[in-house]
Amino acid sequence: MQKNLYFIIILFCLSSCYTYQVKKQADPATANNEELKKGGAPTNISSAQMKTAESLNPNAQQAPAPINIQERLAPNKNVKINVDGKTYKVIVDKWESDSLVVHPVHQPKKILKFHKNQINAEKIGEKRFSQPIADIITVTVYAGIAVGIWSLLR
């Protein structure tokens, strides 16, 4: 029993509350439809303008705004990028014209360069704190402490 408890405690000590999360682009058409369903008017388009636009071209969908890679990959950011099908966890150093200069997270002396056309802009994950993971770890640790106290008192 104690071996399993120690193993679980060690696993949670090694786990991290930080994850790489990909930002999803907000689709303006979807946001306007959700506002209409809630009964509110869209903030930037009047209902008359919306009806006119729909009647002119009902099947047209707005193209998503292009993702500016250079803004998303600012210096000193810890990111997970996909380059030519291979995933890298890197820290951005700088931009040299159209090339991104980075180093792997745990290897600061190793320098990598990628052209901005090689990077998949839709799969750029930024390292962020994950509250659900932190909550799960906290509850599990509290449960482990309770089991430990219970086993000592028994």
Residue ranges and CATH numbers for the domains of the chain are 66-128 (2.30.30.100)
Please give the single-letter amino acid code of residue 141.
V
Residues 137-152, mean pLDDT to the nearest whole number: 87
Condensed to tens digits (0 to 9), the pLDDT of residues 107-142 reads: 989 999 998 888 888 888 888 888 888 888 888 888
The answer, yes or no, to whether residue 85 has pLDDT greater than 60, is yes
Confirm whether pTM is higher than 0.75. no
- Residue 87's nearest CA partner among 122, 115, 123 is 123
Provide the pLDDT for residue 41.
47
Assign 3-class secondary structure to 46-61: CHHHHHHHHHHCCCCC
Instruction: For Cα atoms 65, 51, 55, give the angle at the middle one, nearest 5 degrees.
Output: 90
How is residue 37 written in tokens? 């369903």
The answer, yes or no, to whether residue 52 has pLDDT greater than 50, is no
